[in-house]
């Protein structure tokens, strides 16, 4: 019997708390962190995809800078990174 693993458990920020989430290893959302493994194979919302694509095109550089700063200095983000590194 072959075991198919659809998701891997990871830690992520949820507001001002750390929550257990899953990283999809298969399906349409492969590589994405989601709250439930069942949503890995869910249909993609086309409208949301288009809106995000437009936003990234317009604000991509700004988002990148803010994300880097958050990941480097926010204590919660640093703890999440450390927790996920231990899990490997």
Query: Are 6 and 37 a contacting pair, CB within 8 Å?
Result: yes
Question: Sheet holding 17-24: strands in order across?
Answer: 7-14, 17-24, 33-34
Is residue 70 in a domain? yes
Supply the DSSP symbol for 59. H
The answer as to whether 76 is a domain residue is yes
Residue 1 domain-assigned (yes or no): no
- Is 2 a member of any domain? no
Residue 28 lies in a domain: yes
How many distinct structural domains can be found in the chain?
1
Structure tokens at 53: 């694509």
* pTM of the complete model: 0.77
| Tens-digit pLDDT string for the chain (88 aa) | 555 667 899 999 999 999 999 999 988 889 999 999 888 889 999 999 999 999 999 999 999 999 999 999 999 999 999 999 976 6
Within 10 A of 8 (CB to CB), how many other CB atoms are there? 13
Could you tell me if residue 12 is inside a domain?
A: yes
What residue numbers bound the domain in which 76 lies?
7-87
């Amino acid at each position: 019997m072959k075991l198919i693993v659809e998701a891997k458990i990871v830690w992520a920020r949820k507001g001002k708390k750390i929550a257990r989430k899953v990283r999809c290893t298969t399906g349409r959302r492969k590589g994405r962190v989601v709250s439930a493994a069942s949503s890995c194979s869910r249909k993609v919302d086309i409208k949301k995809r288009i809106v995000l694509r437009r936003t990234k095109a317009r604000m991509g550089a700004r988002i990148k800078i803010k994300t880097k700063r958050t990941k480097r200095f926010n204590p919660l983000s640093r703890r999440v990174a450390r927790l996920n590194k231990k899990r490997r």
